[in-house]
């Protein structure tokens, strides 16, 4: 690993540490209270731990798995001191997540296709951070020297198009757009054609999060996908569902609903900074078959990270 790479990774780690601070403080305050005056991990400590994990938005299913693992360990080791609980939690959660074969990436990677540019379609309900995530992604890809094209297929509000334009200007990346109210599928079609003509490496399509109702939204996404395939037969290569981590269990619900209604291939969990609900990433990675690819840890252009489960657990339990 090069010197600069090490520096970059250190910076990344510090941003992650800082972003998770609130989740960590809240979690450990509760944990310290639960073990106060106790030297041994016993049933009552485990009961409290269960409650703390659930209230930290790890989710019931994943919490039960973690508690089972710790229980087994306590039963085996006979005496486990409360002082070791932090280390044990970290080991057992890392162990649980290591059973999933995703979340190992460390870099932003754009796959190559014989059919043309890599096409990412970004979906999610309104306000979760889709457009911001697209801007941050464009910045990452552009910094690698890749040709990026953005498509403003959220035509539901004028401000949505303007906001993507701001990110296009900021990152120095071309954008394809039409009038507000125009057909999103038509914008997607134009964007793919333009990307193909410009020999783009990656195309990122923004979509609307709000429509008159959920059925309309899902139908529209299906249509956008179908029209894209007229230009690039295997597009979109990635349907990235953005979830707002600060909504905790709501993010779980959205993931369930979206994945049931449309094909989602990866997840981004945003707004992990400034929330105490960072534990939601542990639950989401454990419970969905779809990999968490990116996490948002701030509003800045550099505040998007490739999700790495080991780094995450390390930052959380450090
Ligand atoms: N703190 C923080 N704020 C974020 C993050 N990601 C996005 N935001 C903020 O969340 C707000 C909504 O982000 P948008 O990117 O507009 O969300 P959207 O999903 O495109 O919203 P719609 O276009 O209305 O559907 C903005 O104020 C962003 O700055 C993050 O990782 N951390
Ligand atoms: Mg938007």
Token pair in block for residue 46: 């485990």
Angle at which helices 43-55 and 85-98 cross, to 10°: 60
CB proximity list for 61: less than 8 A, separation 6 or greater:
283, 286, 287
Task: Say if ligand 1 is within 6 A of residue 254 CB.
Answer: no
- Strand partners of residue 243: 269
User: Can you give the length of the chain in residues?
Assistant: 318
3-class SS of residue 214: helix
Domains belonging to the chain, first-starting first, are 10-98 (1.20.120.140), 118-308 (3.40.50.300)
Q: What's the 86 CA to ligand 2 centre distance in angstroms?
A: 39
CB proximity list for 214: less than 8 A, separation 6 or greater:
257, 261
Q: What's the 192 CA to ligand 1 centre distance in angstroms?
A: 25
Place 15 in a pLDDT band, splitting at 50, 70 and 90: very high
Average pLDDT score over the chain: 93
> What CA–CA distance (Å, rounded) separates 249 from 314?
23
Task: Say if ligand 1 is within 6 A of residue 270 CB.
Answer: yes
Bigger pLDDT: 77 or 228? 228
Q: What's the 182 CA to ligand 2 centre distance in angstroms?
A: 16
What are the pLDDT digits (tens) for 157-174?
889 999 999 999 999 999
Q: How far apart are the first and last CA of the chain?
A: 23
Q: Is residue 127 annotated as involved in ligand binding?
A: yes
Instruction: Cite the DSSP H helix spans in the chain.
Output: 3-19, 21-35, 43-55, 60-77, 85-98, 130-143, 158-171, 184-197, 214-228, 249-261, 280-287, 309-317
Q: What's the 260 CA to ligand 1 centre distance in angstroms?
A: 24
User: What region, left, alpha or beta, does residue 59 occupy, with left being phi > 0 and alpha being psi -120 to 50 degrees?
Assistant: left
Give the phi and the psi of residue 109 in degrees, each rounded to 5.
-125, 140
Task: Say if ligand 1 is within 6 A of residue 132 CB.
Answer: yes
Q: How do 292-296 and 148-153 pair as beta strands?
A: unpaired
Q: Is residue 136 annotated as involved in ligand binding?
A: no
Q: Is residue 129 annotated as involved in ligand binding?
A: yes
What are the pLDDT digits (tens) for 282-306?
999 999 989 999 999 999 999 999 9
pLDDT mean over 182-195: 97
Residue from 21, 22, 23, 132 whose mutation best tests the ligand 1 pocket (most atoms within 8 A of CB): 132
Rounded to two decimals, the pTM is: 0.94
Place 6 in a pLDDT band, splitting at 50, 70 and 90: low
Q: What is the pLDDT of residue 303?
A: 95
User: Of ligand 1's atoms, which has the minimum distance to the CA of residue 163?
Assistant: 16
Task: Say if ligand 1 is within 6 A of residue 162 CB.
Answer: no
Bigger pLDDT: 78 or 25? 25
CB proximity list for 51: less than 8 A, separation 6 or greater:
none
Q: What is the pLDDT of residue 214?
A: 78
Place 211 in a pLDDT band, splitting at 50, 70 and 90: low
Q: What is the pLDDT of residue 101?
A: 85
3-class SS of residue 47: helix
């Amino acid at each position: 690993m090069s010197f600069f790479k090490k520096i970059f990774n250190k910076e990344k780690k510090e941003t992650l540490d800082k972003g998770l601070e609130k989740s960590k403080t809240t979690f450990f305050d509760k944990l310290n209270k639960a073990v106060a005056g106790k030297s041994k991990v016993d049933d009552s400590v485990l009961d409290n731990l269960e409650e703390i994990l659930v209230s930290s938005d790890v989710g019931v299913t994943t919490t039960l798995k973690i508690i089972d693992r710790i229980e087994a360990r306590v039963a085996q080791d006979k005496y486990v001191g409360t002082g070791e609980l932090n280390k044990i939690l970290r080991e057992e959660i890392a162990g649980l997540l290591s059973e999933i074969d995703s979340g190992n990436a460390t870099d932003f990677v754009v796959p190559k296709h014989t059919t043309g540019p890599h096409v990412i379609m970004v979906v999610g309900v309104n306000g979760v951070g889709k457009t911001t995530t697209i801007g941050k992604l464009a910045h990452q890809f552009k910094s690698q020297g890749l040709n990026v094209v953005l498509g403003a297929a959220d035509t539901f509000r004028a401000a949505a198009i303007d906001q993507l334009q701001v990110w296009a200007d900021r990152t120095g990346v071309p954008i394809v757009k039409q009038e507000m109210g125009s057909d999103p599928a038509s914008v997607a079609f134009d964007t793919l054609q333009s990307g193909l003509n410009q020999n783009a490496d990656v195309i990122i399509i923004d979509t609307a999060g709000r429509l008159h109702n959920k059925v309309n939204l899902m139908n529209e996404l299906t249509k956008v996908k179908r029209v894209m395939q007229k230009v690039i037969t295997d597009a979109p290569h990635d349907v990235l569902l953005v979830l707002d981590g600060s909504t905790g269990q709501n993010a779980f619900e959205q993931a369930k609903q979206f994945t049931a209604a449309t094909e989602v291939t990866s997840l981004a969990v945003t707004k992990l900074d400034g929330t105490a609900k960072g534990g939601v990433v542990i639950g989401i990675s454990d419970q969905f078959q779809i990999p968490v690819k990116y996490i948002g840890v701030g509003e800045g252009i550099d505040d998007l990270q490739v999700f790495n489960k080991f780094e995450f657990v390390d930052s959380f339990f450090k």
